[in-house]
Amino acid sequence: MSRSTYKLVLSGCAAVALVVGMMVAAAAAVSTASSSGSSSSGRATNCSTEEHQVQQAKARVAAKNAKLTKVKKRLADARSDHRAAEPGPQRQRTKARVQRVQAAKQATQREYRAAKQNLAAAQERLQNCQSTPSPTATITITPTPTEQPNPLQPFCDAGLPQQICDAFPSIPLPPGGGTGTSPIQPLCDLGLPQPICDAAEGAPLPSGDSPIQPLCDAGLPQLVCDLASGTLPLPPIPTLPPIPGLPI
């Protein structure tokens, strides 16, 4: 590797290190909270449980609607970039990005429809509870389906771009999780969220890009995806300056 290329990679790694520091600092700001299920007393004298479930369902619908709005904007931007791209590799790359974002939009639309269905079911349970005259009646609560948690969401809750977390579910994760053989594992050893390195162990996309390319399309530094795909070699990462919360 030539000296100029090596300098380019080293400077890029320094930028990645700053992102890593920001992510670790964000992780330190995330408060751990334990969630407890709603409990009902033996004497069902009110419908507070059902009312709480309706409020939660409304919040999920609002969150999914906001997520869908963001994905639609990403799709519009991707299509605009594709129309402006020159014929050749650049146009192929923008076409692949449009396809990825289109798939993310379809997945988000399904999540939004499911959230609306859950809201309707919660509202029906509340209506049934309110129309029950006997305070001693036994109320059977059907649990609402829970979504698979997004391991990156705590970082976005702490200030990282939400688009990165929104794009993570569209990545085909390797079976059984990560094995510690990720090509960018040194970055996660410095503090980059481990789920990103685990996802980088997956098979390349049909376009030849790294499996985590959707994260870079959403705002993660492109250098991370280039290193994950082998486009650039990963040199020894220099010692980072002291960054609050970074375990170095």
For residues 106 and 51, state if they share a domain.
yes
pLDDT of residue 28: 52
Cβ neighbours around 45 below 10 Å, total: 9
Is 57 inside a domain boundary? yes
For residues 175 and 246, state if they share a domain.
yes
178 phi and psi angles, rounded to 5 deg:
-75, 155
Poorest-confidence range of 2-16, 55-69, 74-88, 178-192? 2-16
Please report, rounded to a whole number, the percentage of residues in the chain having pLDDT higher than 90: 20
Is 37 inside a domain boundary? no
* Listed residues 138, 173, 204: the one ending a domain: 138
Between these two residues, 20 and 216, which has the higher pLDDT value?
216
pLDDT grade, residue 65 (50/70/90)? very high
Query: DSSP secondary-structure letter at 106?
Result: H
For residues 57 and 157, state if they share a domain.
no
Instruction: Tell me the per-residue pLDDT of 119-152, one tens digit each, with 9 for 90 and over.
Output: 999 999 988 888 887 555 555 666 665 667 888 7
* Listed residues 88, 113, 138: the one ending a domain: 138
For residues 116 and 131, state if they share a domain.
yes
For residues 56 and 126, state if they share a domain.
yes
For residue 39, is pLDDT > 80? Answer: no
pLDDT of residue 195: 86
pLDDT of residue 43: 45
Domain ranges, residue 200: 1-29+140-248
Is 35 inside a domain boundary? no
Is 36 inside a domain boundary? no
Is 111 inside a domain boundary? yes
For residue 204, is pLDDT > 80? Answer: yes
Domains in the chain, number: 2
Distance of alpha carbon 168 from alpha carbon 153, whole angstroms: 9
For residues 152 and 238, state if they share a domain.
yes
Cβ neighbours around 77 below 10 Å, total: 14
Is 242 inside a domain boundary? yes
For residues 23 and 63, state if they share a domain.
no
* Listed residues 119, 138, 157: the one ending a domain: 138
Between these two residues, 243 and 209, which has the higher pLDDT value?
209
Distance of alpha carbon 148 from alpha carbon 119, whole angstroms: 18
How much is the mean pLDDT over the chain?
75
Instruction: Tell me the per-residue pLDDT of 175-203, one tens digit each, with 9 for 90 and over.
Output: 666 677 788 888 888 878 888 888 888 88
Q: Are 157 and 81 in contact (CB under 8 A)?
A: no
For residues 106 and 91, state if they share a domain.
yes
Q: Exposed, middle or buried by CB within 10 Å (0-12, 13-18, 19+), for 201?
A: buried
For residues 167 and 80, state if they share a domain.
no
Instruction: Tell me the per-residue pLDDT of 106-128, one tens digit each, with 9 for 90 and over.
Output: 999 999 999 999 999 999 998 88
For residues 112 and 174, state if they share a domain.
no
Is 80 inside a domain boundary? yes
